[in-house]
Amino acid sequence: MFLSKLSIALMSPLGTALLLMLLGMLLARCGRPRAAWSSVMLGFAWLLLWSWPPASNWLVSQVEQEFPFQPLSALPSAPAMVVLGGGIHPSRSAVTPPNLESSADRVWYAARLYHAGKAPLLVLSGGSATSVETEADAMREFLRDLGVPDSALLLEGRSRTTRENAIYSAELLRSRGIRRVLLVTSALHMHRAKKLFERQGIAVDPAPTDYEARSLSSWQRVLPDAGALEGSGHAIKELVGGWLVP
């Protein structure tokens, strides 16, 4: 898993830019100043491009458009829904609450789907490497507050990656004779997640949420932004990850 995380970090705009700048330093030490300067400037330009909100927003929208938003009434019913982790940071101690992250829309949307009668069972998929509880535990706590009963919740707390989300959730689903689900995750993440679940023999009805592409104000069209850089990194990760899933 470390190698997977490292490769993702290096594919991000920041990681690629740092590699190009490091290459520039090596070229300079090898007595190739023009090639070194070109490498450093290319890295800087790449970083600047994906920090520019219009470029980042365009890339994110290209990934998200495969799964446009649908009203609840347009979504089918299914025997179960799977809610992928990534939206809640579990408690790090027994006295601190979970922290809602930017993708917590996933859990809120799952509660809306449940109350709309779209699925009677929610599989909450997400483990943890460092916290006292799993992300599945944290999602259960949030869903209880949103009126979803414990009897409707099934926890999968072993997974650390999307691939493991699919493998371990599919095991739970097959043991209950379930072969089709509503899959709840961020629109940006849906393409890769759907492919991984289908590889496990689970038919997927996408229920995307957490759309990141948005209208930009005039000042956002000019100034580089750390949030835009983060969004670009997410989009590139999903594009590359989707290509690597056969």
Distance between CA 188 and CA 215 in Å, rounded? 17
Q: Which two tokens stand for residue 72?
A: 């609840």
Pairing status of strand 99-100 against strand 88-89:
antiparallel
pLDDT at 9: 67
**pTM for this entry:** 0.88
For 39-63, write each residue's pLDDT tens digit: 999 999 999 999 999 999 999 999 9
Same structural domain for residues 22 and 105? no
CB 129 within 8 A of CB 160: yes
Torsion of CA 211, 213, 214, 218, to 10 degrees: 160
pLDDT at 244: 72
For residue 50, give its domain range: 2-65+226-244
Q: What is the mean pLDDT of residues 170-176?
A: 97
Same structural domain for residues 164 and 189? yes
SS3 124: strand
pLDDT surpassing 80 at residue 137: yes
Same structural domain for residues 77 and 174? yes
Identity at 62, one-letter amino acid code: Q
Q: What is the mean pLDDT of residues 28-43?
A: 93
Instruction: Report helix angle 226-244 to 13-29, nearest 10.
Output: 90
Distance between CA 67 and CA 70 in Å, rounded? 9
Same structural domain for residues 38 and 81? no
pLDDT at 90: 83
Q: What is the residue whose two structure tokens read 């509660």?
A: 111
Q: Which two tokens stand for residue 244?
A: 């690597």
SS3 186: strand
Torsion of CA 33, 37, 39, 45, to 10 degrees: 180
Distance between CA 98 and CA 91 in Å, rounded? 5
Same structural domain for residues 144 and 107? yes
Same structural domain for residues 13 and 127? no
Residue 219 placed within a domain:
no
Residue 183 placed within a domain:
yes
Pairing status of strand 122-125 against strand 99-100:
unpaired
For 203-219, write each residue's pLDDT tens digit: 999 999 999 988 887 77
Same structural domain for residues 29 and 143? no
φ and ψ at 212, to 5 degrees?
Answer: -100, -25
Distance between CA 193 and CA 138 in Å, rounded? 21
Residue 192 placed within a domain:
yes
